[in-house]
Amino acid sequence: MELLVDGVEEHTVAKGDGPVNALDNALRKALERFYPQIGNVHLRDYKVRVLSSSDGTAAGVRVLIESSDGKEVWGTVGASENIIEASWEALVDSLSYKLLKDEEKNVKRK
């Protein structure tokens, strides 16, 4: 995986129990150095819904992810004809949500 994080190019590779877990592990590996608070985010639920079953294996999918940081629980969604892409969208949104919520809390404290 190749990401640009705060102007720094990150290249990571990770294994997992299947492609979605490997993608999640690689994403975290690239980001945790910059955002250590994502280390306590974990996946609580992962669901895939077929959007148009009449299209068979070419059908679009919606991936629903429920995540938690041990204090709060939130859900994110990804949609695509490609299940890995839909999973990526939901995973990225989940970590982005965590970072935005933490930033919002820090702004309120100041």
* DSSP letter string, 29-82: HHHTTT-GGGGG-EEEEEEEEES-GGGGGG--EEEEEEEE-SS-EEEEEEEESS
Please tell me the predicted confidence (pLDDT) of residue 43.
94
Closest among 86, 91, 88, 60 to 75, alpha carbons compared: 91
The CATH number of the domain covering residues in 2-109: 3.30.160.270
Global confidence as pTM: 0.89
pLDDT score of 110 more than 70:
no
User: Residue 49 gets which letter from DSSP?
Assistant: E
pLDDT tens digits for range 43-96: 999 999 998 777 777 789 999 999 999 999 999 999 999 999 999 999 999 999
pLDDT tens digits for range 7-37: 999 999 999 999 999 999 999 999 999 999 9
Q: Note whether 98 and 75 are within 8 A (CB).
A: no
**Spans of all domains in the chain:** 2-109
